[in-house]
Amino acid sequence: MKEETRCESCGKETQPFTSILFGSMEKGYRNLCLACYNASFAEDMGLNFDHVDFAPIKLTDVAGEEHEFHFAARLLGDKVSLEALEIKDGIPRGYHFQVIGSNPEGEPLVLFKELYERMRRALSQKHLDNDDDYGPHISNEGIARGRIDIDLDDSEGDRKPLMVIDGKEISWQEFGRMLLEYEGWNFKIEIFDRSEER
Protein backbone atom coordinates (compact mmCIF):
# COMPACT_ATOMS: atom_id res chain seq x y z
CA MET A 1 0.00 0.00 0.00
CA LYS A 2 1.27 3.48 -0.89
CA GLU A 3 2.02 5.75 2.03
CA GLU A 4 -0.35 8.57 2.80
CA THR A 5 0.86 12.17 2.65
CA ARG A 6 -0.55 15.29 4.26
CA CYS A 7 -2.11 18.17 2.39
CA GLU A 8 0.05 21.23 3.02
CA SER A 9 -3.05 23.43 3.16
CA CYS A 10 -5.65 21.64 5.33
CA GLY A 11 -3.48 18.91 6.88
CA LYS A 12 -5.75 16.10 5.66
CA GLU A 13 -4.07 12.74 4.99
CA THR A 14 -4.29 11.80 1.32
CA GLN A 15 -3.31 8.97 -0.95
CA PRO A 16 -1.12 9.81 -3.99
CA PHE A 17 -4.14 9.42 -6.29
CA THR A 18 -6.13 12.02 -4.29
CA SER A 19 -3.43 14.70 -4.14
CA ILE A 20 -1.50 16.88 -6.55
CA LEU A 21 1.63 19.02 -6.58
CA PHE A 22 0.44 22.58 -7.18
CA GLY A 23 2.38 25.79 -7.71
CA SER A 24 5.12 27.12 -9.94
CA MET A 25 8.90 27.16 -10.22
CA GLU A 26 8.92 30.77 -9.03
CA LYS A 27 6.72 30.29 -5.95
CA GLY A 28 7.51 26.64 -5.27
CA TYR A 29 5.23 23.60 -5.13
CA ARG A 30 2.94 22.31 -2.41
CA ASN A 31 1.31 18.92 -2.04
CA LEU A 32 -2.44 19.56 -1.89
CA CYS A 33 -5.46 17.31 -1.53
CA LEU A 34 -7.81 17.62 -4.50
CA ALA A 35 -10.32 19.68 -2.49
CA CYS A 36 -7.69 22.33 -1.64
CA TYR A 37 -6.22 22.21 -5.14
CA ASN A 38 -9.64 22.75 -6.70
CA ALA A 39 -10.47 25.57 -4.26
CA SER A 40 -7.18 27.35 -5.01
CA PHE A 41 -7.55 26.84 -8.76
CA ALA A 42 -11.19 28.02 -8.69
CA GLU A 43 -10.22 31.16 -6.77
CA ASP A 44 -7.45 31.95 -9.29
CA MET A 45 -9.90 31.42 -12.18
CA GLY A 46 -12.79 33.28 -10.54
CA LEU A 47 -14.99 30.17 -10.66
CA ASN A 48 -17.78 29.11 -8.31
CA PHE A 49 -16.74 25.45 -8.09
CA ASP A 50 -18.09 23.08 -5.45
CA HIS A 51 -15.69 20.21 -4.85
CA VAL A 52 -17.48 16.95 -4.07
CA ASP A 53 -15.76 13.90 -2.55
CA PHE A 54 -17.72 10.94 -3.89
CA ALA A 55 -17.63 7.87 -1.66
CA PRO A 56 -15.92 4.75 -3.05
CA ILE A 57 -18.22 2.18 -4.64
CA LYS A 58 -17.99 -1.48 -5.60
CA LEU A 59 -19.30 -2.78 -8.92
CA THR A 60 -19.47 -6.34 -10.18
CA ASP A 61 -18.40 -7.15 -13.73
CA VAL A 62 -20.07 -9.57 -16.16
CA ALA A 63 -17.90 -12.44 -14.85
CA GLY A 64 -19.06 -11.83 -11.26
CA GLU A 65 -15.80 -10.23 -10.07
CA GLU A 66 -16.09 -7.25 -7.72
CA HIS A 67 -14.14 -4.03 -8.39
CA GLU A 68 -13.67 -1.15 -5.92
CA PHE A 69 -13.54 2.36 -7.39
CA HIS A 70 -12.40 5.64 -5.84
CA PHE A 71 -13.17 9.00 -7.42
CA ALA A 72 -11.07 12.07 -8.14
CA ALA A 73 -12.50 15.41 -9.31
CA ARG A 74 -10.01 17.90 -10.74
CA LEU A 75 -10.42 21.34 -12.27
CA LEU A 76 -8.81 21.70 -15.71
CA GLY A 77 -9.17 25.41 -16.43
CA ASP A 78 -12.65 25.91 -17.88
CA LYS A 79 -13.39 22.17 -17.66
CA VAL A 80 -13.61 19.59 -14.90
CA SER A 81 -12.39 15.99 -14.90
CA LEU A 82 -14.02 13.23 -12.91
CA GLU A 83 -12.11 9.97 -12.74
CA ALA A 84 -12.95 6.55 -11.34
CA LEU A 85 -9.87 4.55 -10.37
CA GLU A 86 -9.98 0.89 -9.47
CA ILE A 87 -7.92 0.44 -6.31
CA LYS A 88 -6.07 -2.80 -5.60
CA ASP A 89 -3.72 -3.08 -2.62
CA GLY A 90 -4.05 0.66 -2.03
CA ILE A 91 -2.95 1.79 -5.48
CA PRO A 92 -4.75 2.42 -8.78
CA ARG A 93 -4.62 -0.76 -10.88
CA GLY A 94 -7.12 -2.22 -13.28
CA TYR A 95 -9.99 -0.16 -14.63
CA HIS A 96 -9.63 3.60 -15.03
CA PHE A 97 -12.48 5.79 -16.30
CA GLN A 98 -12.65 9.51 -16.96
CA VAL A 99 -15.24 12.01 -18.16
CA ILE A 100 -14.62 15.68 -18.90
CA GLY A 101 -17.33 18.22 -18.16
CA SER A 102 -17.41 21.52 -20.04
CA ASN A 103 -19.02 23.46 -17.16
CA PRO A 104 -17.01 23.44 -13.90
CA GLU A 105 -19.80 25.40 -12.21
CA GLY A 106 -22.38 22.79 -13.25
CA GLU A 107 -24.02 20.09 -11.15
CA PRO A 108 -21.40 17.46 -10.14
CA LEU A 109 -24.02 14.69 -9.92
CA VAL A 110 -24.72 15.03 -13.66
CA LEU A 111 -21.06 14.33 -14.41
CA PHE A 112 -21.04 11.46 -11.88
CA LYS A 113 -24.07 9.88 -13.56
CA GLU A 114 -22.34 10.01 -16.96
CA LEU A 115 -19.23 8.41 -15.49
CA TYR A 116 -21.22 5.75 -13.62
CA GLU A 117 -23.11 4.72 -16.77
CA ARG A 118 -19.84 4.46 -18.68
CA MET A 119 -18.43 2.23 -15.92
CA ARG A 120 -21.51 -0.02 -15.96
CA ARG A 121 -21.32 -0.40 -19.75
CA ALA A 122 -17.62 -1.29 -19.64
CA LEU A 123 -18.03 -3.83 -16.84
CA SER A 124 -20.87 -5.50 -18.74
CA GLN A 125 -18.47 -6.38 -21.58
CA LYS A 126 -15.91 -9.15 -21.69
CA HIS A 127 -13.01 -9.05 -24.14
CA LEU A 128 -10.93 -11.93 -22.80
CA ASP A 129 -11.78 -15.56 -22.31
CA ASN A 130 -9.71 -17.90 -20.17
CA ASP A 131 -8.64 -21.36 -21.26
CA ASP A 132 -7.11 -23.79 -18.76
CA ASP A 133 -4.53 -24.95 -21.34
CA TYR A 134 -3.60 -21.64 -22.99
CA GLY A 135 -4.51 -18.97 -20.43
CA PRO A 136 -6.29 -15.76 -21.39
CA HIS A 137 -7.08 -15.09 -25.03
CA ILE A 138 -9.11 -12.59 -27.04
CA SER A 139 -12.76 -13.59 -27.15
CA ASN A 140 -14.49 -14.89 -30.27
CA GLU A 141 -15.57 -11.39 -31.33
CA GLY A 142 -11.89 -10.59 -32.02
CA ILE A 143 -12.09 -7.25 -30.20
CA ALA A 144 -9.90 -6.25 -27.26
CA ARG A 145 -10.66 -2.89 -25.65
CA GLY A 146 -8.50 -1.61 -22.85
CA ARG A 147 -5.93 0.88 -21.67
CA ILE A 148 -2.23 1.19 -22.40
CA ASP A 149 -0.10 1.50 -19.26
CA ILE A 150 3.58 0.97 -18.45
CA ASP A 151 4.97 -2.26 -17.00
CA LEU A 152 6.73 -1.05 -13.84
CA ASP A 153 7.42 -4.64 -12.76
CA ASP A 154 9.46 -5.44 -15.86
CA SER A 155 12.55 -7.29 -14.58
CA GLU A 156 14.62 -6.44 -17.67
CA GLY A 157 14.45 -2.72 -16.93
CA ASP A 158 13.12 -1.89 -20.40
CA ARG A 159 10.14 0.38 -20.83
CA LYS A 160 7.41 -1.94 -22.08
CA PRO A 161 3.69 -1.42 -22.41
CA LEU A 162 1.24 -3.11 -20.12
CA MET A 163 -2.25 -3.71 -21.48
CA VAL A 164 -5.20 -3.44 -19.08
CA ILE A 165 -8.10 -5.43 -20.53
CA ASP A 166 -11.23 -6.31 -18.55
CA GLY A 167 -9.48 -4.69 -15.58
CA LYS A 168 -6.66 -7.25 -15.75
CA GLU A 169 -3.02 -6.41 -16.37
CA ILE A 170 -1.68 -8.24 -19.42
CA SER A 171 2.07 -8.09 -20.12
CA TRP A 172 3.26 -7.05 -23.57
CA GLN A 173 4.61 -10.58 -24.07
CA GLU A 174 1.29 -12.16 -23.06
CA PHE A 175 -0.64 -9.80 -25.34
CA GLY A 176 1.70 -10.74 -28.20
CA ARG A 177 0.97 -14.43 -27.53
CA MET A 178 -2.76 -13.68 -27.76
CA LEU A 179 -2.26 -11.94 -31.11
CA LEU A 180 -0.39 -14.96 -32.50
CA GLU A 181 -3.68 -16.87 -32.42
CA TYR A 182 -4.68 -14.56 -35.30
CA GLU A 183 -1.54 -15.07 -37.40
CA GLY A 184 -2.28 -14.14 -41.01
CA TRP A 185 -5.31 -11.97 -40.12
CA ASN A 186 -5.53 -8.20 -40.50
CA PHE A 187 -6.07 -5.79 -37.60
CA LYS A 188 -6.99 -2.20 -36.83
CA ILE A 189 -5.59 -0.25 -33.90
CA GLU A 190 -7.57 2.77 -32.72
CA ILE A 191 -6.06 4.92 -29.98
CA PHE A 192 -8.14 7.60 -28.27
CA ASP A 193 -8.12 9.71 -25.12
CA ARG A 194 -9.17 7.99 -21.89
CA SER A 195 -12.02 10.46 -21.48
CA GLU A 196 -13.60 9.19 -24.73
CA GLU A 197 -15.77 6.11 -25.10
CA ARG A 198 -15.77 4.11 -28.34
State which of 101, 123, 145 marks the end of a domain.
123
- Where residue 158 falls among pLDDT bands split at 50, 70, 90? confident
Same domain, 19 and 75: yes
Same domain, 104 and 145: no
What mean pLDDT do residues 125-143 have? 87
pLDDT digits (tens, 9 = 90+) for 10-50: 999 988 888 888 878 888 888 999 999 999 889 988 998 88
Same domain, 77 and 150: no
What mean pLDDT do residues 61-75 have? 95
Contact 154, 160 (CB under 8 A): yes
Same domain, 23 and 113: yes
Average pLDDT over the chain, rounded to an integer: 90
Over 80: is that where the pLDDT of 183 sits?
A: yes
Over 60: is that where the pLDDT of 145 sits?
A: yes
Q: Domain for residue 116, yes or no?
A: yes
Same domain, 107 and 134: no
- SS3 per-residue string spanning the chain: CCCCEECCCCCCEECHHHEEEEEECCCEEEEEEHHHHHHHHHHHHCCCCCCCCCCCEEEECCCCCEEEEEEEEEEECCEEEEEEEEEECCEEEEEEEEEEECCCCCCHHHHHHHHHHHHHHHHCCCCEEEECCCEEEECCCCCCCEEEEECCCCCCCCCCEEEEECCEEEEHHHHHHHHHCCCCCCCCCCCCCCCCCC
Q: What pLDDT shows up at residue 1?
A: 46
Q: Domain for residue 188, yes or no?
A: no
Q: What pLDDT shows up at residue 154?
A: 62
Contact 194, 147 (CB under 8 A): yes
Q: Domain for residue 197, yes or no?
A: no
Contact 87, 167 (CB under 8 A): no
Q: Print the domain residue range for 137.
A: 128-180
Same domain, 14 and 74: yes
Q: How many domains does the chain have?
A: 2
In percent, the amount of the chain with pLDDT more than 70 equals 96
State which of 98, 123, 148 marks the end of a domain.
123
Q: Domain for residue 73, yes or no?
A: yes
Q: What pLDDT shows up at residue 79?
A: 92
Same domain, 42 and 26: yes
**Residues 130/133/138/142 CA torsion (nearest 10 deg):** -120
In percent, the amount of the chain with pLDDT more than 90 equals 63
Q: Domain for residue 186, yes or no?
A: no
Q: Domain for residue 69, yes or no?
A: yes
Contact 171, 162 (CB under 8 A): yes
Same domain, 54 and 110: yes
Residue 100 makes CB contacts below 8 A (sequence gap 6+) with 76, 79, 80, 81, 195
Q: Domain for residue 191, yes or no?
A: no
Q: Domain for residue 68, yes or no?
A: yes
pLDDT digits (tens, 9 = 90+) for 102-114: 988 888 899 999 9
Task: Tell me which amino acid residue 162 is.
Answer: L
Q: What pLDDT shows up at residue 71?
A: 96
- Where residue 155 falls among pLDDT bands split at 50, 70, 90? low
Same domain, 117 and 143: no
Same domain, 9 and 100: yes
Calculate ∠ Cα 38-43-47, nearest 5°: 85
Over 90: is that where the pLDDT of 175 sits?
A: yes
